[in-house]
Structure 1
Amino acid sequence: MNTLLGRTLDIIAAKEAYDSSCKRILANKEIAARILKAVVPEYENSTVKEIICYISNVSIGESPVDADSLPPDIKSDNSEDTTITEGTRTFDIKFTAKAPACDNTEINLIINLEAQRKFNPSYSLLKRGIYYCSRLISSQLGTVFRRSDYDKIQKVYSIWVCTNPAEKFRNTINRYSMAEECLYGSSKADDAEYDLLTLIMVCLDNGKVSQGNELIELLSTIFSPVIRSYDKKKIMEEKFNIPMTENIDEEVEAMCNLSEDIYDRGINKGIEKGIEKGIEKGIEKGIEKGRAEGIEKGIEKGKAEGMAELLRNMISDKIKENESDEEILRELGRYGAERELIEEIRRGCSVES
């Protein structure tokens, strides 16, 4: 297999493994309970230990988002399904959770957790989140309620952890839900009759560990690309009182190792691609001159040109991901990135758009 193609496939496999590791960490009840405590109103008066006991039926990458209609007597929750028209698409994490109600009873919630790196893919992430909430509601037909027994519908939450959001959303938590608006008169319905779906966006600070909000600080620490696994586990245990069980310890270690592997493979792939292109250019120029020294100089120049082109491409990608000049300098400065070069490429990107 072509070496460059092989490295590309290795990177894809490593990214898939990294994504799976991230999902398993978020699905851990110690982490999930802290997320619910911070953003779901039903748990604001509950302790983390109580919330852990409320969580059940956790599935990771198993519950389908788009499922074809099933007969009402068939229950399909955790088994993977494939729609005829759209193929398989699953919720990252889905689980049920009990929550205390005002009248000292318990209500049932359906929770979806999503790990998302890019905040601006080719569509609105908020609209996708609303779609997920809608599917969590509609999929209850035949499993939670039958026919017209709509009073049994359970409230749903779709919570998105965005590690690389657009700049204006960084270091923020936003909640989107249904609200009543009386246009005439003074009537008011019971909240429980319509307050059935909520989308929550937890936006981190693009690799920075921002303080000021405990949940953002915790998740930023967990997903930080620069904090070592040993330090992550120490911070989680000492600052956030998260017991380092064997499960959490192994997942944090695996996620950090995979993150470093992806970064190293990406750099090596880029260098290799640049060198291959440089050697090709160098040989062409050397043959044209017909001298051995021409080949040698051409190869050296080609390597430099290939590396320069790689650096420009990496800077361009980070600009398109809305990273600031300081962030790009911090990540790529050791490879020769300078502020003048970043500004030049940024101006070029503005012209193209």
Structure 2
Amino acid sequence: MAELRNLAMVWQHNLILYVKCSRLARHLASLLCFGLFSMVLSACQPKQSDIESSLNTYLARIASVQQVEAHAAPAIHAQRLADKRQLLIDIEPISLGLLDSYQLRYCALFDAIAERNSILGKVQDDFRNLDYQVTLYEGLARCLIEPKIDQALRQRLGDIRQLKRTELTQHWNNLLFTSEAMRAQLASHRWYWSQRDYGTIKPALKKLKNWDDYIDNPDKADRPTPITPYQQTFETQPLLGDLFFSMTNLTDWLTTLTSQLQRNDNLILCGPQRDPTKVTRLQNVFRKFYIGEIQPYLAQVDSAYLSIANDLTPFSHENSPFPIETVHHAFRQATLDHVAYWQALFKRCGVKVGQ
């Protein structure tokens, strides 16, 4: 009995140690997981970019020379499209009876429709859906001149094709603004960086323009090669989103900086019998920060936009959810307004740029 009691006490002691060790292990594991989570979370936080740092310093130095409080730095806004539900155009399906549908084999359209109505066909993405819709539209044209198809059915197919002409534009709109790939292309929280690998996005944008031209006039334009092979490129290389983000936020920054300069212009005195210290210091700020750091980046963004501007017609339609052309115009104007202030100041104070 004594041995059993001793054994029970040892077992109880070991159990207590096990429980304590288990609790300690769980506690250490929790701390380790929390530490790893914090490291991952901190790694996900975006660091202030070089251009933001330059813009902040530029604003602070201008205010310091003016001897006034600096304007608040503008908030940086991520580029996002409107909610998908707001942009999606609902398109009612059109159905034909089985016998009528079977007649479409005479114009090589029956198999395409059958594949579309299969389980896989019903869940195809917007890119493959566009290929199908164009195949259907062009196939209906063949059906209208196929003598083996009943006259009554041909008349109905003519009405359907007319409706499909309108629907092509709607399907195209849905691809541009509600497909996962294009929404990834048009959204961004990153500054444009010329050294970032944007891969094959330029050929993809050119293909997008070709398709836009075709959708505008499918009866006269040649059908482009499929756009589906570029789907991954649009999704993983968001050049348009980066440019939109950069131009929008740079416009806000330039507007703020120009306002800082203009509202306190009366504090910068120059001319005979005037102390030129402030003018000289402002000129140095202009040279070091605007000419030395900011203007080269503005030129990079502008050049990147202009290199693809001719292929952006899919987004230039009225009331586009992605008005990148308008954003570029505002960016250009904000840049001109900012430079115009410095030109006026240097002219007023007799400063020759370059000295």
Same fold (TM over 0.5): no
Q: Report which of the two structures shows the higher radius of gyration computed on alpha carbons.
A: 2
Give the structure-1-normalised TM-score. 0.28
If each structure's helix is expressed as a fraction of its own residues, which one has the higher value? 2
